[in-house]
Each structure stands twice: as structure tokens, then as C-alpha cells.
Structure 1
Amino acid sequence: MATENTPVKKNDLIEMTFEDLTHDGAGVGKVNGYPVFVQRALPGETGNVKITKVKKNYAFGRLMEITKESPDRVDAPCPIFKQCGGCQLQHLSYQGQLRHKQKQVREVLARIGGLEDVTVHETIGMDEPWRYRNKAQVPFGEMEGGLIAGFYAERSHQIIDMNECAIQHEENDTVVQLVKKIAKKYGIRGYDDKSHKGTLRHVVTRYGYRTQELMVVLVTKGKELPNKENLIEEIRSELPNVKSIVHNINSKRTNVIFGDQTEVLWGEEVIHDYIGDIKFAISARSFYQVNPVQTQVLYEKALEYADLSGKEHVIDAYCGIGTISLFLAQKAKHVYGVEIVPEAISDAKKNARLNGVENVDFAVGEAEKVMPWWYAQGVRPDVIVVDPPRKGCDEELLETIVKMQPERVVYVSCNPATLARDLKYLGDRGFETKEVQPVDMFPHTGHVENVAILELKN
């Protein structure tokens, strides 16, 4: 791509002032209006930057020296923060992170959705924004002949060996270090994705915050798990809270963690945890929110926005394992949940039985296909709740919502850009966005969740 007319060239050393942060936490400075993205630079700071890559419309640089520091800059407590790709914002004070996420949501809603006047509340943060993750998925590998386990360096497949992670629950760290120690003892080799050799690919741990139950999942390249009995015995003797030890086989050349074959080596198929008063059974591959404290905050806000009196029929599109559906069922007359993943619907039905919830029906399929079928059966939803993946709602689903004309739509989002796009679509077709509440589900990262409430005009 031609870069002759750009105001900077590769290897230039320039002083610049940073104005903003990108959604993934890079500082943004401009040279004659031309943006330069620099990791770990903060708004309001000035620094010397070496240009590392030049494109037609933007460039990347490396922060060599800070000449004017932001009052929001803090020392990252994690020793591998600069190498690891897991967190982007540990160098920004927590209050600074919450302000940045609110500002980001407000600006994206205005730029993409044309929603300049919609109230975006202050981001709801955590009292204790560390050690919040109840699930770890840690790749194993080899370095100089030794077993290593850690997260990938930013934009690479190089594993950064680590002993602990500041955003994982301590129990997850304990499990990973224990498996590493036992695997070393028995000569179990880590997996090499270049040569497609070795045994142990990942260790996945799941921890129930309220129940303190632990699940350990060993993901291997082949069916063989050397010294399996010793491995199980030592995990059990060292981890009194372990309830489930699972083996998953992934023999493909892929960066997807799980393979298709899963078996329980010892204990139960599931562990349990609670969000509010609702109990959930969590299997090795269940989707379950990784921050249970903030999940409760998020779902209570969704329930508040749904404004249920006990008479309403509610549709929960993208219902997953029934987490939001079961929350809504506490206050609704009837809830209908739909999800494309059959295993998730199986889990949702089990979770409804586990909690004795009878005013809920779950269906497998695409929401935009199942919802019109329900409508044809006479279901008239007063409220529709959507919690789509990062790509947002399919247009067909949004069309279906417009046809069904519910009084309220509650939109739970993990991506402000697709939220803004979808709110604009619904806004152009008779729904008014009243307010948006950002919730910090993933402190020290660039991610932010939102709940929006829309009401049918007239």
C-alpha cells in the first residue's frame, strides 16, 4: 500500500500528545490529523514514539519515553503485563477505566447510532476488580525442553510462562500450577502447534464462586493421557474442592481449544454455582459468564429494565443455558427462550428443573425462525430480551422484533459498535432508546458490557 504521502515514516522518532484510547486500550495521537496508535499510552500524556508500522490512513508506534504523565497512570501489578495479551488497561487507574468505558460507549452510540442525546450512565464497576474470573483456559507448551503454561503474548502464539494471573480467581492459578508440576513429574509433554507434537494442549479450570466447587479439564492432542491414574489421584489429594476431572481430545491442527470428544475421568459431569438465588449446573463446555459478581449486576439491571409485573410474556433470544431466562421467570408470567446451540438448550432445561422453574419454555433454533413460529401459535410478547454475540443481532431477527411490536426491548450487549448499529435500526422503525447502562464485566481489559432499554413509541 502506498505510504509516500503519510506524515510519518517507519523508524521516525517523534514527540506526540495522546488524545484518546481505542476500544482495545491503545493510545491515539495525531500528526497533522493522521492517527498513530501506541500501546500503553494514555490520554493527556506526551511522549516520544518510534514509528513501527505505516499504513495509508494510520500508523503504529512504540512508546519510548513519557515526557508528561497522566494523573490516571498507575503501576501495573502484574509482572508480565507488558508481554501478555490478556489485559490492556492495568496501567490506567480503575476510576480512569470506568470513565473511559462510559466515554467510549457514549461516543460509539453517537457516531454509529446517531444517538447523541441518549443517557449513558456511569459505568458500574467492582468493589474488588481483581481475581474475578471463575474460568481459566491456559495453553501448555514447551520451551528449551521444559513444560510451560501461560497466556499468549499479544497478537502471537508465543506462550508467556506464568505462575499467577491477577484477574483469575486464586483457585484457577492453584490448579494450573499443580497440573504443571504433576505433568513435569511424569514427563507429560506440552503441545507444539507448529510441529503438531506433544500431549497436553490446554488446562481449563472452572470454579463455583458460591459453592467453591472445582472442575479440571485436561485437553490433549490424542486419546492417550500418560500416567492417567496417578494424575487423577494427585489432583484429588491436592485439591479437596475438586468435584470433576474431565478429559477432552482435540486432535486437529486448530487454535480452537476443545475437540469433539469429552469424557469424565473422575467425579461429576458438572459443578454448580449461583447467580443471585438461581443455581446453575456447569459442564466442561457450558457457556457461563466468567464474572459472576458483575453478571448478577448486569442481569438485575436487565430485569429492572424489563419492568415486569407478573402478567407479561417475555421472549429471551440468544438464551444460552437459560441464565437471563431464569432471572426473568421470577417476575414474568411466562418466558420463551431460544438458542441455536442444542447443548445449551439441554443445559437450560436442566437448569430450569434444578430450580423448579415451570413458567419457561426453551427451543433450539435460529431466533428469527423460531419467534415467528411462536407468534403464529398466539404468543404475543410484551418484552423481548436479546443478548447476542459480538456480531450483534441478525437483521432478520431485528425485523421480527419490529413485526412483533413488544412494548419494551431489553438489549444486553458485549460490543458497543454492534449495539449502536442495532439501536439505530430499531430506532428508525418505531422503538426509542431511553437509556444505556455500561457494566464493567472485565476490569483491566478493553471490554465493556451494556444494557439498553427501548420502548415502542405511541
Structure 2
Amino acid sequence: MAPSVDREPSLQAAKEPGAPCPHYPQCVGCRLIGQPYGQQLQWKQDHLAELVRTAWGPSGPSVGTIVGSPEAFGYRNQAKLVLRRSERRGLLVGLFRPGTHTVVDIRDCPVHHPFIQVTLARIIPLLEESNLPTYDERTRLGTLRYLVLRASRWTKSVQVILVTARELDRPLLALLRRVARLPRVRSVVHNYNPSPGNVIFGDRFTPVTRESTLRERIGDLKFKTHAGAFLQANIPVANRIYNYAAAAAQTEANDIVADLYCGVGALTFHLAPRAKLTVGIEESPVAAADARSNLRWNGFHNVRILTATAQDGVKELQKRFGSVGVIALNPPRKGVDAETREGIVQLAPRRIVYVSCNPTSLIRDLQWFESHGYHTDHIQPFDMFPQTDHIECVATLERASTGAKPTR
């Protein structure tokens, strides 16, 4: 039986603006904007149900009623924005139009948290006054590349990350010091990214302020995250997902639990209270270091963080423990690679909790696990990103036979 979820927020759509968005339809990020929030939830519910029916037919796993966001607008606590100067329109702050080098300005995006909207409006004049050229990936000339803002609901503050194609120098430092003096800005970080590709961050982060992290609370847990570390963009919905996933894991007192792709430790810590030992595995050294700091900050003594890819992480778990009781995983959109799936099966967990931001790769992986001895019991959808067509899911899998280890 699937664990219960608090459904009341899905019935309380946030106040919707009279006009859906000043950037629609030029910006295609919010494909469902303009529809009443209840209709958006129904579309996502029906779309997921159809994907499940197409994959499994009438005998597929059950699909729960989608859990909505308490805020339909102003929920997103992160903004990753391209910077581009236009002779006709001045400084553009926005997103690339898919498949092009054209930047769509979204400075007034209504899904951004109000702290981000206000701070962005104050930063843009400083960028314009700096006269620093923006980077053009076609010519590989220019300086300013991306502006990333992260807002904390808990501390009511903002972290600003400026990504440039040249190293931190006096003009950039002067600009960032002006940014640091803005209201609510507590942390300012420079990132140097000289690479020609479209990856946002380079390897080098340089704090300009004394505070180098963003501090946030998810439920009763506290988190410090450095620039470059992943944190869910809708904190209220993330909290519901983590609570649901922890209940779905059905962890027992003697269990060793593994959390793959653990990031800064949010799901890991939700799993830890009922387990003997919980091991988080994270590839990013920045996020793994944050997870270790956070486990000390929250007082966990039965959590270990391993800096490794998911593939190497499951191999290390096999060496240390042979098998584990429960595995949780929250992979990127592409899903879980074949080697990691094989390693998970070899660890023989009696239960798998799979958090996914992409139903297509989720269903592919669930069917693979099904062919290797695991039955998908239930898929619970959540609306992490109102106004968009994205669907977040938590799937629970059980080992078909608890008396025997699955075979490859």
C-alpha cells in the first residue's frame, strides 16, 4: 500500500495573475501557463496515466492522484539566466530559445520567487552601467555569460552567482561588490567558465562575500549549499516528496540504506532516522562536501557520504556490505545507466524508492527492473513545476521474491 500524502495543498491554487506572463509565448518554458491550475494538474495526471497504460497495459502499476504545489506562481527559488546585449533592446536577461542562439528576456518571470524578482530588478541596472560585454558563444568573445540567483525562504536572503568568460579582475570585483551591497543579498560568488560549450558553470568558484553558502530549511532539516550544488527549486513540494519517499521506503531498524545521487543530503537525512546506517552517494565534490557539513549540522551519527559516481558507489557498497535493505535514488533526467542498474540489482535491496523528474526515463528503468526481479507497486506524481509540463514522480519497487537474491 502506498503511503499517504497531504493533498490539501493541491486544492489551494495560488492567486493567478490577470495576464499569464509578459514573456508568453516568446518564452516556451511554461507550456501550460494560462490554464487554470486545476486543469494543469489534471493534464499532468492524465498524461502520466497514459504513459503507464502505453507501457504496461491494464496490468501496470497504480498511479496516485497528483499532489499539487501550494504556490502556482512565485515558487521557484532558483533562476539561471543568460546575459546577452542587443543593439536594439539593450541587455537581455533570460533563456535561449530552444535550438537557437537567440535569447528571450524573462526578467519579469512570474514563477520566480519574489526575492529573485526584486533582486534581479536591482542587479540589471548595475550590469548595464558596467558596460562589460556579454559573451557570444558563436564568436567566443565577451565577458558576462550567466547570472544565477538562489533564494532562501528560511533566511529571506539571496545568493548571486555571476559566471564570466574571464577571470575575476578589478572591474568584475567592483561590479560584484556593488551587487553585495543590495538588500537581501547575503552571498555573492564569481564563477570562471572559459569553456565554449553551453554548460553554465566552470570549475572555479570564488566567493566575494564572507558568506559563501545559501542556507535553507526543508521541514525540520537545515542545509547549507555552495554555488554549484543542487537544491530542489520548489522547497514546499520537495519537502512533501522527501516525506513521502521516506515513508515509502519502509525502512527497518537494522537496515543499511543507500541513497544514490544524494546531492546535499536532503533525501538521505529523511531516510536516516529509521535505519541502522544510511550511505549517501554523490558524484559532485561540492555537493558531497555540503552533505557532510549538513549531516554534522543536523546531528546525524548514522549517515556516511561517499564521493563517487553512482556506478562506482554501488560497487563500493557491494565491497563493504554485500547487500543493503533499501535503495533510494534521484537520478538526472536521463535516468539510471545500465551499469548502475546492474549494481543495484546485485545489492539485492528488498525495496527501491525511485524519485524521477522524467516519466519517460523512469518507465524505461522500471520495466528494466521488472525484468530483473522487481515489481513496481505504485507511482505517485507531484507537481514540482506549476505552469510547465514537467512531472515529478516517486515510484516504489519491491523485490519479487524476498527469499532469493535477484540474478542478472
Residue-by-residue CA offset, 1:51-73 (whole Å, 9 max, x unaligned) = xxxxxxxxxxxxxxxxxxxxxxx
Q: Shift of the alpha carbon at 1:418?
A: 1.4
- Matches of 2:181 and 2:104 in 1, distance apart? 28
Q: Is the 8 Å Cα contact of residues 423 and 433 (structure 1) preserved in structure 2?
A: yes
- Match status 1:288 vs 2:228: no
Partner of 1:299, secondary structure, is: helix
The amino acid across from 2:179 in the alignment is I
Q: Which residue of 2 aligns with 1:125?
A: 68
Aligned equivalent of 1:62: none
Aligned mate of 2:137, from 176, 193, 205: 193
- SS of alignment partner, residue 330 of structure 1: helix
Which of 71, 75, 94 aligns to 1:150? It is 94
Q: Is the 8 A contact 1:149 1:162 kept in 2?
A: yes
Taking every aligned residue pair, what percent have the same amino acid on both sides?
35
- Structure 1 contact 431–454 (Cα < 8 Å) conserved: yes
AA of the residue aligned to 1:390: R
1:245 aligns with 2:185: no
What TM-score do the two structures reach when normalised by structure 1?
0.79
CA separation of 1:197 and 1:396: change in aligned 2, threshold 3 A:
closer
Shift, 1:154, TM fit: 4.1
TM superposition shift of 1:353: 1.4
Alpha-carbon distance, 1:347 to partner: 1.9
Please give the per-residue CA displacement for 1:321-378, whole angstroms capped at 9, x wherever unaligned: 2221111112222101222333322221111112111101121223333324323333
Query: How big is the shift at 1:95?
Result: 1.4
Match of 2:306 in 1: 363
2:178 aligns with 234
Distance in 1 of aligned mates of 2:173 and 2:333: 41
- Structure-2 separation of matches of 1:365 and 1:113: 34
1:391-410 → structure 2 map (5 Å cutoff): 391-410=334-353
Distance, in Å, in 2 between the alignment partners of 1:418 and 1:142 is 37
Aligned counterparts of 1:233 and 1:369: Cα–Cα separation in 2:
41
Corresponding residue to 1:352 among 281, 291, 295: 295
Could you give the per-residue CA deviations for residues 179-209 of structure 1, whole angstroms, max 9, x where no partner exists?
2101222322333333333321111111111
- Measured after TM superposition, the shift of residue 149 of structure 1 is 1.5
Would you say 1:272 and 2:215 are equivalent positions? yes
- If you compute each CA radius of gyration, which structure gives the higher value, 1 or 2? 1
The answer to whether the 8 Å contact 1:313/1:383 transfers is yes
Quick check: 2:83–2:94 contact (8 Å CA) kept in 1?
Answer: yes
What's the offset of the Cα at 1:133? Answer: 1.0
The equivalent of 2:280 in structure 1 is: 337
> Residue type of the partner of 2:135?
Y
Decide whether aligned partners of structure 1 residues 115 and 318 sit closer, same or farther in structure 2, where only a CA change above 3 A counts. Answer: farther
Post-superposition shift, 1:384?
1.0
Structure 1: which 5+ residue stretches go unaligned?
1-73
Instruction: Name the amino acid aligned to 1:237.
Output: R
Shift of 1:223: 2.0
Q: Distance in 1 between matches of 2:257 and 2:285?
A: 21
Equivalent residues of 2:30, 2:388 under 8 A apart: yes
Give ranges in structure 2 of 5+ residues lacking alignment.
Answer: 1-16, 402-408
Distance of aligned partners of 1:254 and 1:381 in 2 relative to their CA distance in 1, 3 Å threshold: same
Q: How many angstroms does 1:271 deviate by?
A: 1.7
Asked whether 1:328 is paired with 2:271, we answer yes
The structure 2 residue matched to 1:412, chosen from 345, 349, 355, is 355
Match in the other structure for 1:454: 397
1:293 CA drift (Å): 1.0
* Counterparts of 1:367 and 1:249, CA distance in 2: 27
Give the superposition deviation at 1:115.
6.7
Paired positions, count: 384
Residue 147 of structure 2 is aligned to residue 203 of structure 1: yes
Q: Indicate the residue corresponding to 1:159 in structure 2.
A: 103
Distance 1:254 1:457 in 2: 45
Change (3 A) 1:95 1:354: same
Please tell me whether residue 184 in structure 1 is matched to residue 128 in structure 2: yes
> 1:230 deviation in Å?
4.3
* RMSD between superposed Cα atoms in Å: 2.1
Cα offset, 1:168, TM superposition: 0.6
Higher normalized contact order (CA 8 Å, seq sep 6+, divided by chain length): 2
TM-score when scaled to structure 2? 0.88
More strand by share: 1
State whether residues 113 and 421 of structure 1, in contact with CA within 8 Å, keep that contact through their aligned partners in structure 2. Answer: no
Asked if the contact 1:113–1:423 (Cα under 8 Å) also holds between the matched residues in 2, the reply is: no
Residue pair 2:67, 2:381 contacting (<8 A) in 1 also: yes
Higher helix share: 2
Alpha-carbon shift at residue 125 of structure 1 (Å): 0.5
